[in-house]
A and B are shown apart, each in its own frame.
Chain A
Amino acid sequence: MSAIHLKSEIDPSFAWAPYEPGKTNPWTKAKVGHFYNRAAFGANWNELQEGFDLGPQKLVDRFIHPEEKQQKKIKDFYVRSNAQMRTLQKLLDINQCSAWWLSRMRQSPSPLQEKMALFWHNHFATSFAKVGNIGYMLGQYQTMHEHALGDFVQLLQAISKDPAMLIWLDTITSEKGKPNENYARELMELFSLGIGHYTEMDIRQAARAFTGWRVKDKKGVFEAKNHDDGEKTVFGKKGKFQGEQIVYLCLEQKACAEFLVRKFIRYFISEDLQLSEKSLSALIESLANQFRRDYRIDRCIETILRSNLFYSPLAYRQRIKSPVDFTVGMARTLESALGSLTLAETVELLGQNLFRPPSVKGWDGGTAWLNGQTILFRNQFANTMCKSRQPSALIANSKPKEDTGNSNLESPNLDWSTASPLPYILASKYQRHSLPEQKDFFFQLFFQGDLSPETRNHIDQFAEQLRNPDYPAHWSERHRQEYASISLCYQFLTLPEYQLN
């Protein structure tokens, strides 16, 4: 990955130009792993190989311009998954909703769409804690999922009338003469412009324009009798504005595209890009000029995912895995059948409770994900994953058919005599039987062969000790082999490098 050396200055036209593999900067499995970490939720063994065979541009095509056959597969998947959603609305359990979404991330044939829905959930962070209605929370998710890679203008307009949002930021109680400023403020500060690009008076005036919205029959409806139809002045323009026009006014501000592009870069490239402020501004401006033309989210993301910058050392392993990346990624890579409800409980412990972000600002992300407690919880999850037993039949099919949130291990047809710890049967599936073979397998699977010599040396030493430890006399040969697989796999998953995406 170090083949191209980018300094703290970078030419925007080079940075955003499509990456083309060459002798000095070849296409590698490490790059495939990197792509899957960012555009999806990690790669499993077969995906690493497929992605390598496709090459960088065709890989992006598959994610953003799927072929007809793939399109049908995606459509079928979402028809089935949406049917499950209707059951969820009756269960009245927000943890089940979180599990359902996590299972989509694990299984969706269109993972980038889920990745972007998660981006928007963080951008328009709305919590069930206040909204209190599962139907509205899922409805908001559906809106974000629908527009996840679509048109930002439509998304921002839809969110401004979304029932969960109307409740979350108090628009439903805002009326003529007594405007509530909550939505107007966050629309400008967090959803479109960023602090410094509006005044307190803009907020107070815009708040008047959003008066009159209520939630009726599960929809956001505008009631003229509660609306302040007087003249308002926002960003220096005068008019009898309603909410919709305020949204358009925000979209017209130069700062809007820049604000969004900066967040896209944080999400797909790095949260702390090692560039001078001047160079970063030039990068943002260049891509914002593209985004502003049509506000097409997919086109902007496509540019990013194809770019030289995306595959540069400025991006590679330059993000901390979010709890969702960490748990869903581990489950996908290990081809685990563990129920998604366990994953939902885990992301909560790790600080990323889906449908319940801590505030309207969303999760801080980056280095904030890791503190003493969350590092220990991450290790505990890895330990649980390594020790979890499942019949090899489940792994041969690779993906659980119906993830209802509960464990897939309850099916009566499974042959329990073959049940073994996950790392053991995964290595067996790919014919890695001996300890050195397993060590190399995990090394390739999790890190695509890219770790420092010191780290490899530590692992080698541990594996050496695993060849013949003082096992208790009553441990069977099978028990010993399983222990070796579990503890070897766990050693890889607790490496500090594994925390990076």
Chain B
Amino acid sequence: MISRREFLQSTTIVGTSLCIPEFLSKTAKATGNANNPGNSDTILVVIQLTGGNDGLNTVIPFNDPQYYKLRPTLALKEAQVKKLNDQIGLHPALNALHGLWEKKALGVIQGVGYPNPSQSHFRSMDIWHTASLADGVSEGWLGKSLKSIRQGAFHVASKNETTPLAMMGAPARVPTLTSLSDFQLKVPEGPLAQLQKQIIHQEVKPPANSNITVANDSNSQKSNPASLLDFVRKTSWNTYLSSDRLQELGKSYTPKVSYPGLNVNPLADRLKICAQLIEAGLGARILFVSIDNFDTHANQGGANGTHANLLRQLSEAISAFYLDMEARGHGKRLLIMTFSEFGRRAAENGSKGTDHGSAAPMFLVGGKIKNEIIGKHPSLTETPLGNLQHHTDFRQIYATILDRWLGVSSKEVLGESFAPVACL
């Protein structure tokens, strides 16, 4: 019979730090900065507005009489909008974002989309996540960029969310977490608790010949029938190692600015976790969060109501998060990007709501963004099938962020070259 000591020695995970996902064993380089992409510690936070945000009632051409014809019950009046210039204003619920505009930390890109837009939520979302118009792509633009960055990423989620397609294709499956305190492996309490934890680690340890940092996320590989079990092993392995590290964090985090109250604004709660992950210096470079319910087919409201409440959540969450990070000296490291799968039809429908559309604006927030309105507002009269037309391909913005912010070759990630946009 082997002794416990021998057993511990044979199964211990101590001493296998070479297998730990690379980013967890590194601390962030304090000296890096956004002027030197690729060798830096720049951070990208992507915020997804799920359901198709009504861009026309987000960034509003309040001087265009056609706007009021298209939106008889939903339009915002000139006196209500938060003006960015004498043509364009933000929805009044975006007051906090307007504050960032005045601090020169907000950029607005208008008329973003892609050719032959799909009006299916799911197809269009896949297109934005994979940055490809092709069918059946199983890797996302962020996952692919992690192959070169070789540092970490997190998906900070609500309970109902699964790992975004955008994060697929990363060297190790990107961990999703919903709260720091729940992110740990618990075992029955007793004399063998420590040993049991180690064996549970051991059970999912990938075989020595499979290098986890290059092995692919096996989301849809049609290779060998054992791959599903391998997938479970790799995902568990990465989770257990990450959870060990995260237990040290967040216990005494006090934000520098006040966030909206707990559970009042779930997006703000998730961004606060992002703030903790960033402040902890784990070296995580990409974070992904979502806010749902933008599919406003009926009764979406004008200055108040469903859509306004969503925009207010978005705006207050982003503002608190950015100001907190800025106060901690991360402002110039941070870039926040918002996107939605599509905008909505130019004209409102009979249900005081809006049906699926196409082109829409995006927001960029950060200490190094261009504090400008980029591109003109899409025409409200030239609207094929009632849809706003895009003039900027979203992949141009991805390319700009990849090349100029994350320091990753956009051509490698996107498969072709896109003209950069002067947003950074």
Residues on A lying within 8 angstroms of B by beta carbon are 169-170, 173-175, 177-182, 185, 189, 195, 200, 272, 274, 313-314, 317-320, 348-349, 351, 353, 356-361, 363-364, 367-377, 379-380, 383, 386-387, 455, 458, 461-462, 464-466, 469-472, 483, 486-487, 490-491, 494-497, 499-500
Find out whether the CB atom of A348 lies under 8 angstroms from the CB atom of B119. no
Find out whether the CB atom of A500 lies under 8 angstroms from the CB atom of B188. no
- A496-B236 CB under 8 A given contacts A358-B292, A376-B182, A466-B192: yes
Tell me, yes or no, whether B187 is within 8 Å of chain A by CB: yes
Choose the segment among B1-9, B61-69, B208-216, B257-265 that binds chain A (4+ C-beta atoms closer than 8 Å).
B1-9
5 further interface pairs, Cβ-Cβ under 8 Å (given A359-B292, A380-B182): A181-B355, A274-B222, A371-B173, A455-B203, A472-B191
Find out whether the CB atom of B203 lies under 8 angstroms from the CB atom of A496. yes
Binary interface profile of B, 151-162, with partner A (CB < 8 Å = 1, else 0)? 000010101111
Q: How many A-B residue pairs lie within 8 Å, measured between CB atoms? A: 195
Sample 6 A-B pairs with CB under 8 A, ordered by A number: A180-B349, A274-B224, A274-B225, A371-B173, A373-B177, A379-B200
Residues on B lying within 8 angstroms of A by beta carbon are 1-2, 4, 7, 11, 50-51, 119-123, 155, 157, 159-163, 173, 175-178, 182-188, 190-192, 195-196, 199-200, 202-204, 218-220, 222, 224-225, 228-229, 231-233, 235-236, 238-239, 242-243, 292, 297-299, 349-353, 355-356, 385
Find out whether the CB atom of B233 lies under 8 angstroms from the CB atom of A371. no
Find out whether the CB atom of B177 lies under 8 angstroms from the CB atom of A367. no
* Neighbouring B residues of A372 by C-beta, 8 Å: 173, 175-177, 183, 235, 238-239, 242-243
The listed residue with most B CB atoms (<10 A of its CB), out of A175, A182, A383, A386, is A182
* Neighbouring A residues of B239 by C-beta, 8 Å: 371-372, 375-376
Select B191's contact among A318, A348, A470, A494, beta carbons within 8 Å. Answer: A470
The residue of chain B having its C-beta at the shortest distance from the C-beta of A8 within the complex is B222
Measured CA separation A317–B225 after assembly (Å): 10
Find out whether the CB atom of A461 lies under 8 angstroms from the CB atom of B351. no
- A373-B182 CB under 8 A given contacts A351-B160, A469-B191, A483-B190: yes
Measured CA separation A375–B299 after assembly (Å): 39
Select A491's contact among B51, B199, B225, beta carbons within 8 Å. Answer: B199
Select B160's contact among A356, A465, A469, beta carbons within 8 Å. Answer: A356
Find out whether the CB atom of B122 lies under 8 angstroms from the CB atom of A361. yes
The 7 residue pairs across chains A and B that have the minimum distance between CB atoms: A178-B350, A173-B351, A372-B175, A371-B176, A368-B162, A372-B239, A496-B232
- A483-B188 CB under 8 A given contacts A320-B232, A371-B175, A496-B229: yes
Nearest CB of chain B from residue A474's CB, rounded to whole Å: 12
Select A181's contact among B162, B202, B204, B356, beta carbons within 8 Å. Answer: B356
* Neighbouring B residues of A497 by C-beta, 8 Å: 229
Find out whether the CB atom of B232 lies under 8 angstroms from the CB atom of A490. no
The residue of chain B having its C-beta at the shortest distance from the C-beta of A461 within the complex is B7
The listed residue with most B CB atoms (<10 A of its CB), out of A356, A363, A491, A497, is A491
The listed residue with most A CB atoms (<10 A of its CB), out of B4, B202, B228, is B228
Measured CA separation A466–B191 after assembly (Å): 9
Find out whether the CB atom of A178 lies under 8 angstroms from the CB atom of B176. no
* Neighbouring B residues of A486 by C-beta, 8 Å: 188
Select B351's contact among A180, A318, A357, A359, beta carbons within 8 Å. Answer: A180
Select B350's contact among A177, A351, A380, A458, beta carbons within 8 Å. Answer: A177
Find out whether the CB atom of B235 lies under 8 angstroms from the CB atom of A376. no
* Neighbouring B residues of A360 by C-beta, 8 Å: 121
The listed residue with most B CB atoms (<10 A of its CB), out of A178, A359, A486, is A359
Measured CA separation A314–B121 after assembly (Å): 32
* Neighbouring B residues of A313 by C-beta, 8 Å: 225
* Neighbouring A residues of B1 by C-beta, 8 Å: 464
- A182-B297 CB under 8 A given contacts A359-B121, A464-B1: yes
The residue of chain A having its C-beta at the shortest distance from the C-beta of B6 within the complex is A461
Measured CA separation A180–B356 after assembly (Å): 10
Measured CA separation A486–B192 after assembly (Å): 12
Nearest CB of chain A from residue B72's CB, rounded to whole Å: 11
The residue of chain A having its C-beta at the shortest distance from the C-beta of B4 within the complex is A465
- A500-B229 CB under 8 A given contacts A180-B298, A462-B196: yes
Find out whether the CB atom of B160 lies under 8 angstroms from the CB atom of A353. yes
Find out whether the CB atom of A173 lies under 8 angstroms from the CB atom of B350. yes
Find out whether the CB atom of A494 lies under 8 angstroms from the CB atom of B200. yes
